[in-house]
């Protein structure tokens, strides 16, 4: 069905397919039928023709939809002949609405999506290939590691808006009391042994040295986020072999077993809503998952405590928040788990040569400079393009800690994008293994009902049955 949709749209839009070569291909075609002077005049008239570009976005930040209206006005001032029409959605209905519109051939010109959904729109022929449609200098504005997430088969199909990094957060004062040089850890990372010494020292009668949400589906968060400590950056390695069967997984599970058996980490399920609260109440020194933007949440709670207005977390204490990298085991290069959301341009019934070029203007406008910087500042993230970082440099960071800002900026550069070439079948099988085998076994490991070795052996058994020995990394 997807191939049929792609074929139908391609047949109906032959002109727009040729358009992705840019303005130069349009000029060459025009010169075969007219004089150079007439061609130039025609292009000038086309570039000034009125056009409307539709943009569909969810509330990326609390006031993102309001800001989009402002940016649409700014875009119209910059390009008086172009109008940006904003379609606001909720997080709940955004993906469904976009999928339905795209399959009907009436996708918005631009929409915000998570990178994991990108391949679907490339496969059905609705995502525009920016490698052919967009000015190379504009593409060069973006960091390569961020562009890699929006790349399919060596072609770029979207502009990254931000990389959401997920690692660890902590009570900075408790860390320092436990003997940790917080500034050094934020600047250059730390080893697993140093981390273990810290959480040992930070564990008290009513305080865990380390807490990570591990209840239900959040168990997979631990494997994705803390897994980088053992060198597990993705479910598949660069050879497209399933990597949770490697000895890296055994090393990770052995570490979990050590932390729970020692009492440094809870041996029971911790809900996602509990992890930061336990830090705010002084019952956890380090917690995960954590993001840079959690600093805003903790600062808000600190302000509520000071104001004594009754809105602070019950039994909470003032916390000086520190964003931290995940430690690394022997022989592992420091990385950080991240995921990318970005803006993608779509092919629809309006996709003429001139319209696509107008869409490219709007796409770059929304994904770069002050617009991208505003999103980054709101989410406490560093920019993923040079123009956004330049705009961020002049923005007020409020009362954020500079060490947290610098650590987040450093960690974004260490994110490893998933390898290209993973098939839909591999993705589906990996998810099934995670949901039906790894998560239940991981929760049993936390509770002391199985061992790291037994869990690892079961993963290898189940995964080789699915992917075959040749499809698994068994080193």
Q: At residue 33, does pLDDT exceed 70?
A: no
Lowest-confidence pick of 50-54, 313-317, 393-397? 393-397
Number of residues in the chain: 475
3-state SS assignment for residue 100: helix
- Secondary structure tally for the chain: helices H, strands E: 24, 10
Per 3-state DSSP, what percentage of the chain is helix, strand, and coil (rounded to 5)?
50, 15, 30
Nearest CA to 244 among 234, 255, 259?
Answer: 234
- pLDDT tens figures, 397-449: 677 899 999 999 899 889 998 887 888 788 889 989 999 999 999 999 999 99
- Average per-residue pLDDT in the chain? 88
- pLDDT tens figures, 160-176: 999 999 999 999 999 99
Q: At residue 21, does pLDDT exceed 50?
A: no
Token pair for 303: 């302000």
In angstroms, rounded to a whole number, what is the distance separating the alpha carbons of residues 461 and 474?
11
Q: What is the model's pTM?
A: 0.77
pLDDT at position 20: 65
Helix pair 452-467, 424-433: axis angle to 10 deg: 150
More confident residue, 46 or 206: 206
Residue 168 β-bridge partners: 324
In angstroms, rounded to a whole number, what is the distance separating the alpha carbons of residues 463 and 474?
11
Token pair for 169: 């957060």
> What are the φ and ψ backbone dihedral angles of 34, each rounded to 5 degrees?
-140, 170
Average pLDDT over residues 452-456: 98
Lowest-confidence pick of 43-52, 312-321, 341-350, 446-455? 43-52
HSE value, Cβ hemisphere, 13 Å, CA-based, for 2: 10
3-state SS assignment for residue 204: strand
Average pLDDT over residues 345-369: 95
- The architecture that CATH gives domain 165-337+419-471 is 3-Layer(aba) Sandwich (3.40)
Quick check: 18 and 129 in contact, CB under 8 A? no
Name the range with the highest mean pLDDT among 19-23, 114-118, 159-163, 392-396.
Answer: 159-163
Banded pLDDT at 272 (limits 50, 70, 90): confident
Q: At residue 28, does pLDDT exceed 60?
A: no
Domain(s) labelled CATH 3.40.190.10 in the chain stretch across 2-19+50-160+342-401, 165-337+419-471
Quick check: 294 and 262 in contact, CB under 8 A? no
pLDDT at position 454: 98
pLDDT at position 119: 83
In angstroms, rounded to a whole number, what is the distance separating the alpha carbons of residues 151 and 448?
42
H or E stretch covering 166: strand 159-171
- pLDDT tens figures, 92-103: 899 899 999 998
Banded pLDDT at 461 (limits 50, 70, 90): very high
Q: At residue 40, does pLDDT exceed 50?
A: no
pLDDT at position 41: 42
Helices (H), ranges, 104-237: 118-123, 130-133, 136-139, 144-149, 172-177, 182-188, 192-202, 219-225
Token pair for 188: 């250059």
Nearest CA to 192 among 231, 224, 166?
Answer: 231
pLDDT at position 404: 94
125: left (phi over 0), alpha (psi -120 to 50) or beta: left
Return the HEC string of 279-347.
Answer: HHCCCEEEEEEECCCHHHHHHHHHHHHHHCCCCCCCCCCCCCEEEECCCECCCCCCCEEEEEEEEEEEC
| Radius of gyration, alpha carbons of the chain | 25
* Cα 180 to Cα 174, 190, 228, 399, distances in angstroms: 9, 10, 21, 23
Average pLDDT over residues 119-139: 92
Domain 2-19+50-160+342-401 CATH (choose: 1.10.10.10, 3.40.50.1000, 3.40.190.10, 3.20.20.70) = 3.40.190.10
* Cα 211 to Cα 78, 203, 227, 243, 318, distances in angstroms: 50, 11, 15, 25, 19
Average pLDDT over residues 136-165: 92
pLDDT at position 6: 41
Nearest CA to 44 among 27, 29, 21?
Answer: 27
Tokens 């008086």: give the residue: 80
- pLDDT tens figures, 55-72: 999 999 889 999 999 999
In angstroms, rounded to a whole number, what is the distance separating the alpha carbons of residues 167 and 262?
22
Dmax of the chain from CA atoms? 86
């Amino acid at each position: 069905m997807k191939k049929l949709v792609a074929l139908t749209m391609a047949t109906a839009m032959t002109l727009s397919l040729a358009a992705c070569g840019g303005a130069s291909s349009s000029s060459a075609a025009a010169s075969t039928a007219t004089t150079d002077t007439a061609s130039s005049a025609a292009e000038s008239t086309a570039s000034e023709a009125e056009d409307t570009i539709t943009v569909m976005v969810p509330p990326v930040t609390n006031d993102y939809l309001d800001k989009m209206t402002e940016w649409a006005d700014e875009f119209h001032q910059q390009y008086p002949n172009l109008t940006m029409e904003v379609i606001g959605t909720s997080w709940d209905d955004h993906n469904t609405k976009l999928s339905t519109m795209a399959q009907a051939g009436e996708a918005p010109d631009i929409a915000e999506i998570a990178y994991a959904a990108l391949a679907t729109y490339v496969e059905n022929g609705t995502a525009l290939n920016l490698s052919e449609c967009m000015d190379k200098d504009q593409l060069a504005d973006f960091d390569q590691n961020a562009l890699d997430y929006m790349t399919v088969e060596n072609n770029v199909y979207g502009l990254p808006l931000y990389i959401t990094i997920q690692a660890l957060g902590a009570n900075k004062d408790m860390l320092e009391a436990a003997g940790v040089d917080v500034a050094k850890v934020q600047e250059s990372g730390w080893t697993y042994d140093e981390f273990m010494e810290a959480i040992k020292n930070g564990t008290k009668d009513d305080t865990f040295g380390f807490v990570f949400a591990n209840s239900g589906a959040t168990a997979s968060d631990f494997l994705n986020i803390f897994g980088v400590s053992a060198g597990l950056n993705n479910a598949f390695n660069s050879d497209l072999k399933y990597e949770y069967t490697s000895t890296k997984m055994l090393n990770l599970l052995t570490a979990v077993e050590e932390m729970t058996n020692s009492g440094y980490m809870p041996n029971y399920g911790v809900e996602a809503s509990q992890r930061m609260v336990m830090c705010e109440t002084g019952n956890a020194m380090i917690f995960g998952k954590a993001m840079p933007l959690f600093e805003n949440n903790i600062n808000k709670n600190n302000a509520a405590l000071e104001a004594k207005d009754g809105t602070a977390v019950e039994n909470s204490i003032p916390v000086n928040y520190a964003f931290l990298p995940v430690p690394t085991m022997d022989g592992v290069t420091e990385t950080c788990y991240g995921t990318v959301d970005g803006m993608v341009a779509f092919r629809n019934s309006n996709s003429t040569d001139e319209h696509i070029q107008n869409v490219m203007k709007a796409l770059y406008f929304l994904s770069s400079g002050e617009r991208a910087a505003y999103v980054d500042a709101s989410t406490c993230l560093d920019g993923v393009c040079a123009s956004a970082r330049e705009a961020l440099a002049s923005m007020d960071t409020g009362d954020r800690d500079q060490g947290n800002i610098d650590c987040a900026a450093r960690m974004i550069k260490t994110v490893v994008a998933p390898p290209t070439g993973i098939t839909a079948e591999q993705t589906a099988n990996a998810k099934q293994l995670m949901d039906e085998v790894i998560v239940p076994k991981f929760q049993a490991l936390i509770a002391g009902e199985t061992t790291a070795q037994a869990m690892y052996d079961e993963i290898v058994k189940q995964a080789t049955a699915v992917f075959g020995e040749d499809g698994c990394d068994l080193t």
